[in-house]
Structure 1
Amino acid sequence: MATNQESQVYITDAKERREQDEINAEKGMSTKVTSTVSTEEAEDDRETRPAKHINWSDAMIDTLIAILPLYFVAFCVAAYIRDGTLANSFRNQAILQMAKFNPTIFPIIFTLIFAKFIKAVANAKLERGASVGSIQHLLGSRTLVSSVFTPMRLRTWSIVVPLLVVMWACNPLGGQLSLRSVSRATNVTVIDTPFVYVDPMQEIDLRALPADSDPSYNRVIDTSFNTALLTPASSKNGTQDVFGNIQIPMLEYLRLNQTADVDGWFYTLGRNLTGLEAIVADTIDLPQHRKLIYASLIGIPYIANLTISSLTETNASSSDDLSAKLQRIKQDLFGEQVMNTRLEFTLQSSYVYSDCSFQPLHVGSPLPSGDEGIYVSNNVSMNTFGNATDFVTNGAGLTIKYDGNHTMNSTSVRNIVFESFLAVNDVDLGMTENGGSTGTTYPTISEARCGLSTTHVEAQVSCATSSNCTVSKIRESKAPHQPNYLTFLDGATIPASIDAGDDFTIPYRQKLARELMSNFVNATGPPSGIFNLSPLESFFTYPDSPWKAAISGMGASSGQSNQLPINLVGDLLFSQRLTQLLNTYWLTSAEPFQMVTGIDLEMVESGESTVPLPTTMGTTFVEKIVLRCHIPYMAVLLVISIALFGMGMATAYLDATRKGPDVLDDFVNSLRHNPYVHVDDKLGSSMEDGKEMVQRLKHTVVKIGDVHPGESVGYVAIGTPNHVQPVEHLDHRRHYA
């Protein structure tokens, strides 16, 4: 050691420093103190504190935090109590709003409680003595990702590792469960419901109807029929007409386009196929969207009968009072809670089908100018087809010939001949060369020969809502019915209970075909001229708007100034459209009022209805949007929430009973008993928590660097850089001990 110069000594221990001071004093050398370690006098001035007994402040804060998960417990309980109740109620709307916010607040609460719990456990282990690895593992596992990578980094493996990972995985899981524990769902109440409807072939006591000779009644029939012709195409070709009546699909058309199932059902609703099903359907050319042709232009009136005593509710006990039950059902059907009402029922119906084939168009000799009317009035020529014995005409070219001897005792279908006159110029007939016209007009007669039969069907009606119904499937009726070759023209609807020898029935049966056919051909009036068809005839060539076609001269071919003969539509279309016209006229004749205004249940119940209406039992599905609890999700959420509450209370207990200072979480704890930190203020107690040290030293500047810059080998530590304690920047060219 040099004895003639002043040396600068770095002292790291109080005892060594005192010994060095004594040696330097004996030799008369001055010693410059650079250590920040307190002297004995400073140690005497250090603040003293007893070990902590109970940390009330930490315990209270931890307890308040521990209560937070009980919010999710309350949420689950409230949702469970309200399960199955109307979703749009105020309370349920609040629960659904809570569910939306739950995924946001759950991770915050979970992280807050579980991270504090891990630190509290680490503090408890430190006071009781634990390995550095176990404590550092706990402190480094306070997020999901760090709980996975900390064991890898520290190379510490124990049963705690998967437990921490699983617990942290409950964080996102709980957030999702808190959202999915409740939702809106459809609750369905099933009600057995009788439905009343009109069957076109139902037995009708014609004596109860006004006489056909009554002009007022005939005007009602014609008005109803023409209203059907005037309805838009969406009504004529839709599942329901403009009055809400159910359209019955034409079974003959369905047979041409699809195959019935094993029970004979033809399905009318298309399927939207995707994926493999769509490929298979394309391969076998399976029709997915089915176009339907309906039996008439207006449908079958129906109504759910909620007034009769046979109404029952499937989920009601037999001891319920009927009036109370009925009131409850009405509240379900018409109350504010109902979101939708679906209906299903099966009805028996029937319609007349005309199977027609055209004869070649008859073109007569050119008409002399001014002599057209003579030909029109004398164009009827009887033939022997179908034993035609009589005819009806509108006096302007439309004639129907029929067998007047066809009766209820006949064993074959009734044949008719439909003839339509139209004057056509030579251009439209293609009788001129180079498109030139000679101005010649030719009389034409379109003649179709038809066989009339009755098709009896069974139809299943499905209503997506109480007012949106369709026939979902249809088949030939399995119920007993009259032979198919008998129609309403034969008096098939006259009740069998009426004596066959009744003075009313026999004459009426004999004249029924004439009366109906005569009124039918005259229902729309005559055409406006020899170049136009009547509205009834125009329906064959322009079904969407026959009245417009009849008045403006629109024809089957676009761009024609005059209408064209109806035989151009072909046998199939003519058969279908004549079927629609005949059934429409029969429906409006049998019950014109109910076709338009609907069924009057009061008249049905009182027996005042002129037409007996059949009743069929169906099902009403009352759909409500309710709050639905998902019990499995809710159970897991409850377990996690209760576990969080338990961990929160355990944290409060561990923090309350901690004796020593909190030294694990604050950077300032790295300055405890550090010989390279110089603090001029009074030294704090060793019982100081980290937060207290921060408050005391918050303005003290510290730095990590070389605290032995004057030596050949440096030393890295955290110190206070000042004139007493140098802390130099680290240099990659130096070595450090």
Structure 2
Amino acid sequence: MDYSSVKTRDPPQDGVSDRLIKEDPSRQTTTLLKDEGARLPKRLGSADAILQFVLDISLTVPAVCFLTYGFMVLCNNGVPVNQSPIPALHMAAKYSPTLFPIAFSAIATNLLKATAAWRLEKGITILSLEYLLKCRNVFSAVTAPLSLQAVNLITPLLIVLWASSPLGGQAALRVMDTVPSTATESWPFEYLEFISPFRHTGASTSAGYEVMPSIQAAFAAALSSPMDAKTKAQDLFGNIKIPMVEHYQQSSQTSDLDGWYEVNTGPNTSPIWSSLIGLPATSLDGFSPGSNYSFKMETSYMSANCSTQHTLMKFNEWEQYRNSSIYHNNRNLALRYPVFPLSWATEPFRLIFTSWSRAKTTNATCILSQVYAEVDVGCYGSVCAPGRIRRIPKSENATVRTVLHQAAAEGSPYRGPAGVFFAYFETFVSSGLSLYDLQERQIKPFASAIETYFTEPSAPFSAAGISSWDGTDMSSIGDVVFSQRFSQLLNTFWLASVASRNVTGAFNFHDEFDDGTYRIVTQNATGTRTPDLLVMRVNGAWLSVLFVASVTMLVTGIFAAILGCLRRGPDVLDYSTFFFRDSPYVHIPPGKYRSMEDASDQVRRIRDIRVCIGDVDHTGDVGRLAFGSVDAAVPLRAQKAERYYV
């Protein structure tokens, strides 16, 4: 079959639908817009908006960090400065005055720019726009009203906003103080009761043979201690001395409303102590070096009120007087009493103290009483001192009957042996003799350390009269000083007698203080313990400033991110291209200007165009200045000094 004569069909032409599509105006416009790089306004859920929001919200991270820093400081209030995380917080505080203003400036500037861009799309006054763009730091916020010579409602708001920047930095630095710890806690204490049982019935008894060496050693150690130790608040073994409260009552010093007298233990003053040996005291932790302690002791002591007379007495007369006395040391000291002290006595006990010397013999009539006092003690580690003292009122019978009347501590069943008075004074008169004096030799009229303590308390065992055949003349000692020193000797020997082992260092918390003879009595007290530590203390005022400034920075960053999302138009503020958008004096090559383009993108595209503020009307008599491009398309001339411009 011949197909050559058959006509072929022409290629199909565009149909009606295709033609309508091509002629559709919207499709033609879309194609045109794509060719020209046009774009829709930024949408809230677009990728660009989300990216911008993430970038803006990331600026709030420093605010969150400073808020976290503030909360960590608050939570670690009172923590020792060398304990974690205080060193790290101090390190952060050092850099805060630098980092806080930088972070705040970045966030605040972003807010001002976002606010200006958002309000610019809604409509804003020139003054408000200028304030938002001009106030980018603390200095400009203050100087802007001066340079613009105008203010509006946002002026004080901007000043307050920027004031938060330096305040926040300083607050982060000053929010922590280093102070001594004041975290006190209740703490138990224990101390020796002065009215403890006497431990023997005489020097020649079995108990006396056992305890007298330690008693003699403790008493001699107290007498021979240096004057510095005698005047301090603690003895050589750390025992706490009790002041004589009657000394304060008889002085011009006044007490407070509760009867307390301040005890001054400074380097230039020294109280009158009731004894050369203090009361042993301890606490649950044994007075740790890293703590401060405070507690009160209720105690007592013997007080002697003496009246002295000084007469001449030959040595043979003295021998007769001494041998007729009840207690003497076979040398120059004798003691006697007119009335034997009964345990139910109601009259004060009188004791006659007599010391012979070739110059004058001293006769002192002393009335003994028991003084009860409460002492407020403070300790820095194991270094303790009484801070206050007051007298405890007692009945007359209680003060008349001393420990020598076989008195017992309140609430204690331990009274000690019978014959306390005899055993005490029998050993007391000989306790001041040296080992050389105690040897079986001929009788020598040498003074003992008890007598020389009245005249030379700093060194009684090496005083001038202790090895002299003339004895020790005490006629220069007044009644007040004699009474004080005799009281000290009586109380020192009493403490050495009832607790010789404990006053020389063996005193521990809740020990069984029983040496097989008579149990000593202890008293319990509840005081306070404060760690001797430097701790971090929060400065409340600066912490409040830090929180306010940090919250302001956080809220500022959040609002900046939100306003950035609400902006529909391009980002043009803060860019030089903003000045020549739609300007007739700026020549932009065709295809390089797009009104919806962000200024940053536009800068990259037209970065080689040169611009200048010059004369755009150079042909007239008066010039006109404008921002324009420097090229052949725009007749822009440089400014001249002799030309006028409008």
Q: Common fold, TM-score beyond 0.5?
A: yes
Pair 632,122 (structure 1): closer, same or farther in 2 beyond 3 Å: same
Q: Is residue 563 of structure 2 the alignment partner of residue 654 of structure 1?
A: yes
The sequence identity of aligned pairs, in percent, is: 25
Of 693-702 and 134-143, more deviation after overlay is shown by 693-702
Checking the alignment, whether the CA contact within 8 Å between 2:223 and 2:460 is kept in structure 1 is yes
The residue aligned with 1:50 is: 39
Pair 99,210 (structure 1): closer, same or farther in 2 beyond 3 Å: farther
How many Å separate the matches in 2 of 1:80 and 1:49? 55
What's the offset of the Cα at 1:419? 1.9
How many Å separate the matches in 2 of 1:609 and 1:696? 108
Pair 219,736 (structure 1): closer, same or farther in 2 beyond 3 Å: same
Match 1:471 to one of 386, 398, 403:
386
How many Å separate the matches in 2 of 1:597 and 1:125? 84
The residue aligned with 1:407 is: 341
How many Å separate the matches in 2 of 1:499 and 1:152? 90
Pair 537,734 (structure 1): closer, same or farther in 2 beyond 3 Å: farther
Q: Which string of whole-angstrom CA distances, capped at 9 and with x for unpartnered residues, describes residues 290-332 of structure 1? A: 641101111011233x5xxxxxxxxxxxxxxxxxxxxxxx7xx
What's the offset of the Cα at 1:236? 1.5
What's the offset of the Cα at 1:156? 4.6
Pair 232,95 (structure 1): closer, same or farther in 2 beyond 3 Å: same
The residue aligned with 2:371 is: 456
The residue aligned with 1:233 is: 227
Match 1:539 to one of 424, 431, 453:
453
Letter in 2 for 1:382: Y
The residue aligned with 1:222 is: 216
What's the offset of the Cα at 1:246? 1.2
How many Å separate the matches in 2 of 1:695 and 1:210? 115
TM-score (normalizing by structure 1): 0.68
| Superposition RMSD in Å | 4.6
Q: Is residue 644 of structure 2 the alignment partner of residue 735 of structure 1?
A: yes
Match 1:292 to one of 256, 271, 276:
271
Match 1:588 to one of 496, 502, 514:
496
Q: Which string of whole-angstrom CA distances, capped at 9 and with x for unpartnered residues, describes residues 175-209 of structure 1? A: 3444455556735353263x432233344464699
Checking the alignment, whether the CA contact within 8 Å between 2:168 and 2:546 is kept in structure 1 is yes
How many Å separate the matches in 2 of 1:252 and 1:354? 11
| Unmatched tracts of structure 2, length 5 or more | 1-32, 43-47
Checking the alignment, whether the CA contact within 8 Å between 1:669 and 1:690 is kept in structure 2 is yes
Report SS of the residue matched to 1:228: helix
Checking the alignment, whether the CA contact within 8 Å between 1:533 and 1:550 is kept in structure 2 is no
Match 2:281 to one of 302, 306, 317:
302
Report SS of the residue matched to 1:618: strand
Pair 115,569 (structure 1): closer, same or farther in 2 beyond 3 Å: farther
Checking the alignment, whether the CA contact within 8 Å between 1:47 and 1:684 is kept in structure 2 is no
The residue aligned with 1:520 is: 431
What's the offset of the Cα at 1:477? 2.5
Checking the alignment, whether the CA contact within 8 Å between 2:446 and 2:471 is kept in structure 1 is yes
Checking the alignment, whether the CA contact within 8 Å between 2:290 and 2:381 is kept in structure 1 is no
Letter in 2 for 1:399: L
Map of 1:325-336 to 2, 5 A cutoff? Answer: none
Checking the alignment, whether the CA contact within 8 Å between 1:452 and 1:487 is kept in structure 2 is no
Report SS of the residue matched to 1:453: strand
How many Å separate the matches in 2 of 1:201 and 1:592? 14
Report SS of the residue matched to 2:195: coil
Checking the alignment, whether the CA contact within 8 Å between 1:295 and 1:579 is kept in structure 2 is yes
Checking the alignment, whether the CA contact within 8 Å between 1:341 and 1:622 is kept in structure 2 is yes
How many Å separate the matches in 2 of 1:628 and 1:495? 45
Q: Which string of whole-angstrom CA distances, capped at 9 and with x for unpartnered residues, describes residues 24-43 of structure 1? A: xxxxxxxxxxxxxxxxxxxx
Pair 709,347 (structure 1): closer, same or farther in 2 beyond 3 Å: same
Q: Is residue 60 of structure 2 the alignment partner of residue 66 of structure 1?
A: yes
Q: Which string of whole-angstrom CA distances, capped at 9 and with x for unpartnered residues, describes residues 241-265 of structure 1? A: 2212110101232123223344433
Match 2:329 to one of 370, 393, 397:
393
The residue aligned with 1:416 is: 352
How many Å separate the matches in 2 of 1:572 and 1:208? 31
Q: Is residue 116 of structure 2 the alignment partner of residue 122 of structure 1?
A: yes
Report SS of the residue matched to 2:59: helix
Aligned length in residues: 596
Letter in 2 for 1:131: T
The residue aligned with 1:620 is: 528
Q: Is residue 250 of structure 2 the alignment partner of residue 250 of structure 1?
A: no
Report SS of the residue matched to 1:653: helix
How many Å separate the matches in 2 of 1:683 and 1:107? 39
How many Å separate the matches in 1 of 2:522 and 2:190? 6
How many Å separate the matches in 1 of 2:152 and 2:268? 64
How many Å separate the matches in 2 of 1:498 and 1:721? 114
What's the offset of the Cα at 1:81? 4.9
Match 2:483 to one of 552, 564, 575:
575
How many Å separate the matches in 2 of 1:62 and 1:628? 36
Q: Which string of whole-angstrom CA distances, capped at 9 and with x for unpartnered residues, describes residues 383-425 of structure 1? A: 9xxxx94451352xx323422643224724323233253xxxx
Q: Which string of whole-angstrom CA distances, capped at 9 and with x for unpartnered residues, describes residues 544-591 of structure 1? A: 3344545999x9xxxxxx998443344333332222222212211222
How many Å separate the matches in 1 of 2:210 and 2:199? 20
Checking the alignment, whether the CA contact within 8 Å between 1:204 and 1:495 is kept in structure 2 is no
Q: Is residue 362 of structure 2 the alignment partner of residue 447 of structure 1?
A: yes
How many Å separate the matches in 1 of 2:176 and 2:373? 43
How many Å separate the matches in 1 of 2:463 and 2:513? 44
The residue aligned with 2:297 is: 346
Pair 454,517 (structure 1): closer, same or farther in 2 beyond 3 Å: same
Of 721-730 and 608-617, more deviation after overlay is shown by 721-730
Q: Is residue 183 of structure 2 the alignment partner of residue 188 of structure 1?
A: yes
Checking the alignment, whether the CA contact within 8 Å between 1:399 and 1:420 is kept in structure 2 is yes
Checking the alignment, whether the CA contact within 8 Å between 1:489 and 1:516 is kept in structure 2 is no
Report SS of the residue matched to 1:94: helix
How many Å separate the matches in 1 of 2:223 and 2:41? 98
Letter in 1 for 2:190: V
How many Å separate the matches in 2 of 1:392 and 1:594? 28
Checking the alignment, whether the CA contact within 8 Å between 2:318 and 2:356 is kept in structure 1 is no
What's the offset of the Cα at 1:458? 1.9
Report SS of the residue matched to 2:105: helix
Report SS of the residue matched to 1:196: strand
| Unmatched tracts of structure 1, length 5 or more | 1-43, 272-287, 307-329, 365-374, 422-442, 556-561
Letter in 1 for 2:458: D
Checking the alignment, whether the CA contact within 8 Å between 1:297 and 1:584 is kept in structure 2 is yes
Of 130-139 and 231-240, more deviation after overlay is shown by 231-240
Map of 1:358-377 to 2, 5 A cutoff? Answer: 359=310
Checking the alignment, whether the CA contact within 8 Å between 1:69 and 1:642 is kept in structure 2 is yes
Pair 679,593 (structure 1): closer, same or farther in 2 beyond 3 Å: same
The residue aligned with 1:167 is: 161
Letter in 2 for 1:715: R
What's the offset of the Cα at 1:121? 0.4
Pair 495,477 (structure 1): closer, same or farther in 2 beyond 3 Å: closer
Match 2:259 to one of 247, 257, 264:
264
How many Å separate the matches in 2 of 1:525 and 1:174? 80
Of 653-662 and 230-239, more deviation after overlay is shown by 653-662
Pair 626,196 (structure 1): closer, same or farther in 2 beyond 3 Å: same
Q: Is residue 623 of structure 2 the alignment partner of residue 714 of structure 1?
A: yes
